[in-house]
Structures are given as C-alpha cells and as structure tokens.
Amino acid sequence: MKDIQTLPVGAVIDEHGATVQKMFDRIAPGYDRANRVMSLGTDERWRRRAVAKLLAHAPAGVGLDLCAGTLDSTLAIHRAFPEAHLVAGDFAGEMLEHGKKKLVGTAAAHIETRQMDAHALPLADASVDGIFCAFGIRNLSDLDRATHEQARVLRAGGQLVVLEFFRPTRWLTRVVHVVYNETLLPIVGWAITGDREAYRYLPRSIGRFDSVGRYCERLSSAGFVDVEVESLTLGVACIVRATRGSAGQGDA
C-alpha cells in the first residue's frame, strides 16, 4: 500500500465556502436519513453504479473520496475494493464525524478521514490513483481551481469519477427538476432535518451549476482525457469519468 504524503493545508475557504461548510455541519445528523427518503434509495443505486465505473478503470492503490460527507460513497468503494487505501476528505468536520461512526472492521483499517478543502488538497502531486466525488463539485466556489487540484494529485492515467446533478438542459429533465427538486424536495428535506434553507439551496445550486457538457470542457482544459458521461434516471444525475492525461496529453 502506497502512503499518501501530507502537504500543509492551504485554507482557502471564502464566504460561499464558509456558508456551505456551516450548512453541512448543521444538517449532518439528519443527512443520511434525508437522502434515503428524498431519493427513495435511488442515491444508493447511483453511487454503486458510479463506484463500479471507478473500479472498472482504476487499479488498486490509493483513492480519494472527495467531498465525502458521511462516507456512504467511501464505504461503497471499500466494499467493492477492500484492499485500497481510501482517504475520505471533506471540509465539514461534522459530516466526517457522523461518517466515522460507520467505520468498523476492515473499513476502519483502510479508510482515513481527513478534513480538507477541495481547492487546496493536502496531498502530494501524482500521489493518488483514483478520485471519486459524489454530489460535491456543485458546491465549490472555484470549480476550475478544484479541477486543477484533482489533476495535480492524480497520477497520469489515474481516474476521476464524478456523480452529480448538473444543470438540466433537456426539457423533460427540466420538468423533473422544477416539480421535484424545486417544489417537493425542499418540503421533504425541511420535514426531515428541520432545515428549510439547506434544502432550498439544493435546487438553487443545481440551477446555477454547469451543464454536463460545460463541465466536460473544464476537465479537458485541466488535463483530463478520455472523458465519458453516463446519464442516470432521465438525466436527473450524471456520472462523468475521465482519465488524468500524461504530460503533453491534454495538459492545460
């Protein structure tokens, strides 16, 4: 097992980041329950599918689950890939604390949680074989900067798998977004967590986020190649997988 070297953490949390961090710290106790109810378990199916995509391409080694939250994805990666050393990184300490309670047995030995900001990863250049990020990048203040950070820490040929709600562009997906995300979801999320604002933030963040096409362009500019997209459940969510190019191969 290769060790990840830790570099000094560059704290770059701006005003938006601080608001997002506080919000996730606040909703951490009810986060898992709200996810299960609001998606009727679909989030778990999507996660498993995204993890399978990572495993199909990434060799065993060091993996980073970025914006890991309460570690549901980290645990799904561990179950599918028990020998890998996994770092679960998130800037919301409360989310990680709730996740840590789920680390028992082999998971506790193979998963390390680390508080980190996605814009300044405390990891050495080319030290990671795979990065997974579920429902995280939409929250970032500077997506280009964070994408370059991911490219920096991934070794050439390393894999990035992102599961995300991108801004819908197809009319049917837009209808689902308006009916479900903008109308039903804030009510259900409020009822479960008691936090109305957090679940109004979700549809707003989707509405102002990149389309999946725009995000793929950012990946190419940051040195990723072989970018592929899988659309899930009428395009409500997408999995994007990309390979970290070697020097001169798609480098920005």
Contacts with ligand SAM by CB under 6 A: the residue count is: 21
Instruction: Pick from 50, 51, 77, 140 the residue near ligand SAM by CB under 6 A.
Output: 140
C-beta closer to ligand SAM: residue 95 or 242? 95
Compute the residue count for the chain.
252
SS3 219: helix
| Tokens found for residue 223 | 């040195």
* Calpha distance 203→54 (Å, rounded): 27
Instruction: Pick from 91, 165, 201, 215 the residue near ligand SAM by CB under 6 A.
Output: 91
* Beta strand segments in the chain, E: 62-66, 85-90, 111-115, 128-134, 154-164, 224-232, 237-244
Site for ligand SAM in 60-89 (CB under 6 A): 67-69, 72-73
Alpha helices (H) along 7-71: 15-27, 31-39, 42-57
* Calpha distance 29→97 (Å, rounded): 10
Q: How far is the CB of 134 from ligand SAM (least distance, A)?
A: 3
Yes or no: say if 122 and 6 are a contact pair by the CB < 8 Å rule. Answer: yes
Mark residues 100-139: x for contact with ligand SAM by CB under 6 A, - for none.
-----------------xxx--------------xxx--x
Which residue number has the CB closest to ligand SAM?
Answer: 69
Q: How far is the CB of 180 from ligand SAM (least distance, A)?
A: 16
SS3 122: coil
Mark residues 19-58: x for contact with ligand SAM by CB under 6 A, - for none.
-xx--x----------------------------------
Q: Which residues bind ligand SAM (CB under 6 A)?
A: 17, 20-21, 24, 67-69, 72-73, 90-92, 95, 117-119, 134-136, 139-140
